[in-house]
Amino acid sequence: MDDPKTLVSTDWLAKHIRDPDLRILDASWYMPAENRDARAEYDAAHIPGARFFDIDEIADLRSDLPHMVPPVEKFMSRMRALGVGDGHQVVVYDGAGIFSAARVWWLFRLMGQNDIAVLDGGLPKWQAEGHPIEDLPPVIRDRHMTVRRQNQMVRDVTQVASASKLGDHEIIDARAAERFSGAASEPRAGLRSGHIPGSKNLPFGNLLNGDGTMKAPEALRAAFEAAGIDLAKPAITSCGSGVTAAILSLAMERFGKTDHALYDGSWTEWGAFPTLPIATGDT
């Protein structure tokens, strides 16, 4: 089920790794509590030719919220500096399997770039299978990228509040069940516990196999339906800070649902606003 617009296998990448117009991005990112340095790990070992995509820097640093969508001009300049541009097939991976790579896949799609796929199983699967890694910096040549931002793929807090009131979208939360219900405290200080009223919970881990790969499209659809999600409605994905929400977005794209958007601020924004309503419990 390799699809260069959504998800490709390690076998696919091994076959195409020397293609002249292939560009590989290491988009590893970890929660602060994990005490992992994604950049240092990239410098020590990465897939040959991979460039490091810094989710926290290729972002709107004017915002108080973490890794918000960067201005178009900044995205274009950073991609030029990475040597990624028009005519390239991009494969993005991370050090967890499928975690932060999906966020970069979604960001490229938001910027009108469709020739991008997540590496299924990421760096762990690549290494477990004995494929090569290196610690050499890539040779980069500038490449222009034409960006056409797809505004329908992102939602802000006002739009999400409206959707919550009207019930005309399915708001799908990728956080763990304990965080969704409010039983567990949020990892970021100062945030209330609970969820957006009317939202449904589908923890992103439910979409993955034990080896960190994504489930088959029919199993993904079944997971959404089992969570009580009405797939006839347009969807808005959410999570803690807009990273794992993109795994839900990728999963929907895999089984053919294309009317989805991502709430960029996610719970880091919603949970910090005392005037916004919250719900607790399983629904």
| Contact in structure between 59 and 68 (CB atoms under 8 Å) | yes
Q: What is the pLDDT of residues 111-143, one digit of tens each?
A: 999 999 999 999 999 999 999 999 999 999 999
Q: Does domain 152-270 have CATH number 3.30.1330.10?
A: no
* Tokens matching residue 60: 């709107």
Q: Which CATH class is domain 7-149?
A: alpha beta
Residue 189 has what pLDDT? 87
With tokens 């960006």, the residue in question is: 147
Active site residue 239: yes
Query: Are 7-149 and 152-270 equal in CATH topology?
Result: yes
Between the two ends of the chain, the Cα-to-Cα distance in Å is 34
Coil, helix or strand at residue 79: helix
What is the Cα–Cα distance from 38 to 122, expressed in whole angstroms? 14
What single DSSP character describes residue 136?
Answer: P
Domain range summary for the chain, segments of one domain joined by +: 7-149, 152-270
Which of 239, 245, 246, 251 is catalytic? The answer is 239
Residue 219 has what pLDDT? 98
What is the Cα–Cα distance from 280 to 42, expressed in whole angstroms? 39
List the 170-173 sheet strands across, edge first. Answer: 154-155, 260-263, 235-238, 170-173, 200-201
Calculate the CA 146 to chain-centre distance.
Answer: 21
- Give the mean pLDDT per block of 10 residues along the chain (283 residues): 97 98 98 92 98 98 97 97 97 98 98 98 98 96 95 98 98 98 92 97 98 97 98 98 98 98 98 96 85
Residue 283 has what pLDDT? 77
Q: Which residues pair with 26 in a beta bridge?
A: 52, 93
